[in-house]
Amino acid sequence: MKIKSFVLIVLGLSLTATAMSQNTNLRGWEKGPLTWNDFTLMNESVGDEHSYLEYILQVEQRPDEINGKEMETKTAVLYVDRKMSWVDSHYRTPQELKYNQVAFNLAELHRRRLQLVIDTGGAVNMNYYTQLLSYMVDSFCHDTYYGADTAAVAWWEQDIRRQMDSITPIMVERHITANAIEKIIPQYRMLFNLGGGAKFFHGDLHDLFAPSGGFYFDFEAGLWRHELLMGMYAGGGRCRPDSIEAVYSYNTLYNYDDISTLDLHIDYGFIAIDSRKWSVMPFVGYGMQAVLYNKDDGTSSNGPSEGCWRAGIDVKYHLGIGDIYMDNYLEQFLFSAHGRVYVSFDRFKSIVGTPQGFTINAQLGFSFGMKQSKIRRAVKEGKL
């Protein structure tokens, strides 16, 4: 048996998967049992070898669509090259054809094992698989005396079938992608959000303060769809110059003084929408919010020492995503446009008279970070 010519491992093949599947000289195991029509060449026997099949085993990149993005997945494929396969016309017997079919089954079993290695994220060393398949074929040929020992052929046939039944068959010619991704399950994420914002005062606070503008920064971390946010907003504005009576009624503010606002917060959010382009998260939280200003005695007010509840919605539009596949996990690096609107229910006790009110806050900026998801795979059918 010519072991070197029995298996042809193709590395860096220039033909595409589509072109190979359309090549009438190539046929896959899933096409059904072999016939003598799969042996194009006529040749005389070489010693005890009366027929010969030429195989092509390789790993192809197959297109697949995941969350709206087209990407490549790896699939092990096996073909018989009819043009290079031959038979001695004096040995076109059912037993000789069965011998070749069992050898074909053995090659298919080896391909399925290779696919399992790919699906579980293992490293694929084609030289190793070339040598292993050559050893398996050589053992089969010598053990059966090139098909002459019919009892040995029957034993190999039964043993190979048992092993093949334990591995889900992967269609080759119909192009079922064994490595297809059925679902991406979020695991954890870590993000940084920063940008500019505005604070609009309502209730009793509306008569005291004009809108405040500033910047925000926060850190976001979560598991699955649950998020925890921690950060701050710092801004500046003015007292309302047209509300002198309201200002003096609290006896604490200069009517033209500048003010500063400072928020420290911690929030819990649940990501309701988590697509490849969008992330939408309602949230609730608790913050320490204060207005810093000059008192009429020339001293400054205290910092944030008053708690308040807050609730809102956080939206991200992903401008750029970098995907890295590691075994059965997907790591994505995100750069997003970020927007947030929330209401904070405030009671500024540091102001004499303790006015009650609320603020509407709007923020717009950018978000960047990473998230990891777990990949659930399934056999998926689709033609190239």
Model pLDDT for residues 305-337, shown as the tens digit of each residue: 677 889 999 999 988 887 776 656 778 888 999
Largest CA distance in the chain: 116
Tell me how many degrees the CA angle 76-124-162 measures, rounded to the nearest 5: 55
| 219 within domain boundaries | yes
Whether residue 238 sits in one domain with residue 93: no
Flag whether pLDDT at 384 surpasses 60.
Answer: no
Dihedrals phi, psi of 84, to nearest 5 degrees: -105, 0
5 or 335, which is more confident: 335
Whether residue 134 sits in one domain with residue 259: no
Whether residue 167 sits in one domain with residue 269: no
pLDDT band at 345 (very low <50, low <70, confident <90, very high): confident
pLDDT band at 95 (very low <50, low <70, confident <90, very high): very high
pLDDT band at 124 (very low <50, low <70, confident <90, very high): confident
Residues of the chain above pLDDT 90, percent: 25
Q: Are 374 and 329 in contact (CB under 8 A)?
A: yes
Flag whether pLDDT at 209 surpasses 60.
Answer: yes
Whether residue 207 sits in one domain with residue 170: no
Q: Which of 179, 210, 236 is the last residue of a domain?
A: 179
139-184 residue pLDDT tens: 888 889 998 999 999 999 998 988 887 775 443 333 344 445 667 7
| 326 within domain boundaries | yes
Residue 379 burial (10 A CB sphere; 0-12, 13-18, 19+): middle
pLDDT band at 355 (very low <50, low <70, confident <90, very high): low
Q: Which of 179, 199, 226 is the last residue of a domain?
A: 179
Whether residue 298 sits in one domain with residue 327: yes
| 382 within domain boundaries | no
Q: How far apart are CA 186 and CA 311, in angstroms?
A: 24
Whether residue 127 sits in one domain with residue 145: yes
| 383 within domain boundaries | no
Whether residue 312 sits in one domain with residue 251: yes
Whether residue 188 sits in one domain with residue 175: no
| 65 within domain boundaries | yes
DSSP-derived pairing of the beta strands 329-347 and 356-377: antiparallel
Whether residue 172 sits in one domain with residue 67: yes
| 208 within domain boundaries | yes
Q: Work out the mean pLDDT of the chain and round it to a whole number.
A: 77
The CATH number of residue 273's host domain is: 2.40.160.20
211-270 residue pLDDT tens: 888 999 999 999 988 999 999 998 877 776 555 444 444 434 444 456 777 888 899 999
Q: Which of 179, 204, 220 is the last residue of a domain?
A: 179
> What pLDDT, on the 0 to 100 scale, is given for residue 317?
93
> What pLDDT, on the 0 to 100 scale, is given for residue 299?
56
Residues of the chain above pLDDT 70, percent: 71
| 90 within domain boundaries | yes
What is the extent of the structural domain holding 195? Answer: 183-377
- Listed residue (373, 67, 375, 377) closest to 223, CA to CA: 373
Whether residue 68 sits in one domain with residue 20: yes
> What pLDDT, on the 0 to 100 scale, is given for residue 14?
32
Tell me the two tokens of residue 380: 């998926």
Count of domains forming the chain: 2
Task: Give the CA distances from residue 50 to residues 153, 291, 336, in Å, rounded to whole numbers and listed in that order.
Answer: 15, 94, 65
Whether residue 312 sits in one domain with residue 264: yes
Whether residue 371 sits in one domain with residue 231: yes
| 149 within domain boundaries | yes
